[in-house]
Amino acid sequence: EKEGEKTLRSPICCIMGHVDSGKTKLLDCIRSTTVQEGEAGGITQQISASYIPVEHIRERTKELKADAKLNVPGLLVIDTPGHEAFNNLRSRGSGLCDIAILVVDIMHGLKPQTIESINLLRMRKTEFIVALNKVDRLYGWKTCRNAPIGKAMKQQSKDVQHEFDHRVTQIITQFKEQGLNTELYNKNKERGETYSIVPTSAISGEGIPELLLLLIQWAQKTMVKKLTYNSEVQCTVLEVKVIQGCGTTIDVVLVNGVLHEGDEIVGPIHTTIRSLTPHLMKELGGGAYKEIKAAQVIKITAQNLEHAVAGTALYVVKPDDDVEEIKELVMDDMRNVMSRIDKSGEGVYAHASTLGSLEALLKLLKTPPVSIPVCGIGIGPVHKKDVMKASVMREKKKEFATILAFDVKVAPEAQEFADNLGVKIFIADTIYHFLDQFKAYVDNLKE
């Protein structure tokens, strides 16, 4: 590395799109893994991430002869579920990434969760590239395994090329209807205003070279400042998971800085890192590390991780730091969410699994024409004490003696308690279902 030249960290790339468009398969194809085949019902139900080293990307893109232009150490990819129930995970993934791949099935075009993904990316002003996947399903497609799509297209018959052109034109129109300009990557002269489409097959690998190269080149060209490595630790909890033999563990995205074994960490939790394991290309291989440098996705084991909250920041305590001050910082994140709560003291209770999903829920409840005031919030399962708090509303406004439980469990004794006290608990795994449920309930009370 040259003197004065800035070191770039790996860009973080989120893969989004409608259910079964081929997000996981595409990742499998890039990593040479078989994760998708092992998924229950072939459906992704969690958020996961892995690191692809630049050597691997260089190998996959060598036919494009772009060797010298790759300056990042690798690419961190976050896979998200496409099923509608997992809006919160898509939201979390899109909130963490620098850049995204939006996967669209060439046979089906834009679908509800494609549009939801577009809106999430737009809201956060995240750049993305469209992978127009499953080109091998065009009738008569001639397989050109792992070839650049430019080369593969030339091998196809006139009929295949016609069908391809026809479908691409239709899909570009569908994007237009969403207010987005898109164009095939090799015809796109206005990158930035017009999003590029790269045709791919996750089964036979055509188009993967262009997809990877475009992604890296775009990130390197437009995000130098954002991608310049910074030694100040910047770390977010991706997921909290119970693993047999390890207890509760957390997966974190380390965006900047270095984490060490033995580091004292503060989030809503306060503990010391027992072990650090990076999520590498081939599952969790290689065991624990003494220290890991950003950008990486890391599994952390430690005590007291039960109260970690996905979507929140983790801070590392340095020798001169005041732990109480750091705890205040953590509370600031929480307060941002709290500020959405109604000061009138009248409203429903909103419960969600993560800070991010709670935010999404609170936002939706305030988006016209909906206007449901919220007077209290909770993260994690609904317990008796939560029911107790919600029951206070009974005397003021009966319809607000309600808990909206989004993607969280309700303890059986809490449900029983609620039934006895006349508190209504709505359980939904997609945010939108609450609105219908709540409206029907209020209408019913008025009659």
Which spans of this chain sit near ligand GTP (rule: CB under 6 A)? 17, 19-25, 36, 42-44, 81-83, 133-134, 136-137, 201-203
38, 42, 112, 140: residue in contact with Na ion (rule CB under 5 A): 42
Residue 5 main-chain phi, psi, to 5 deg: -80, 135
CB 52 → Mg ion: shortest distance, Å? 17
Binding mask 178-217 for Mg ion (x = CB under 5 A): ----------------------------------------
Nearest to 90 by CA among 365, 358, 356: 356
Q: Which does 134 bind (CB under 5 to 8 A by kind): ligand GTP, Na ion, Mg ion, none?
A: ligand GTP
CB pairs under 8 A, 24+ apart, for 418-423? 418/387, 418/390, 418/391, 421/387, 421/388, 421/391, 421/394, 422/391, 422/394, 422/398, 423/387, 423/390, 423/391, 423/394
Cβ-based nearer residue to ligand GTP, 114 or 301: 114
CB 20 → Na ion: shortest distance, Å? 4
Cβ-based nearer residue to Na ion, 28 or 407: 28
Cβ-based nearer residue to ligand GTP, 146 or 220: 146
Cβ-based nearer residue to ligand GTP, 19 or 401: 19
Q: How does DSSP classify residue 228?
A: B
10, 16, 20, 269: residue in contact with Na ion (rule CB under 5 A): 20
Give the largest CA-CA distance in the chain. Answer: 76
CB 42 → Na ion: shortest distance, Å? 4
Contact flag: residue 23 with Mg ion (CB under 5 A): yes
d(CA 83, CA 85) in angstroms, rounded, equals 6
Using CB under 5 A, which residues numbered 33 to 62 contact Mg ion? Answer: 44
d(CA 116, CA 272) in angstroms, rounded, equals 38
- How does strand 99-105 pair with strand 127-133? parallel
Could you tell me how far CA 420 lies from the centroid of its own chain?
39
Q: How does DSSP classify residue 255?
A: E
CB 89 → Na ion: shortest distance, Å? 14
Contact flag: residue 127 with Na ion (CB under 5 A): no
d(CA 359, CA 408) in angstroms, rounded, equals 15
The site for Na ion (CB under 5 A) is made up of: 20, 42-43
Interface residues with Mg ion (CB under 5 A)? 23-24, 44
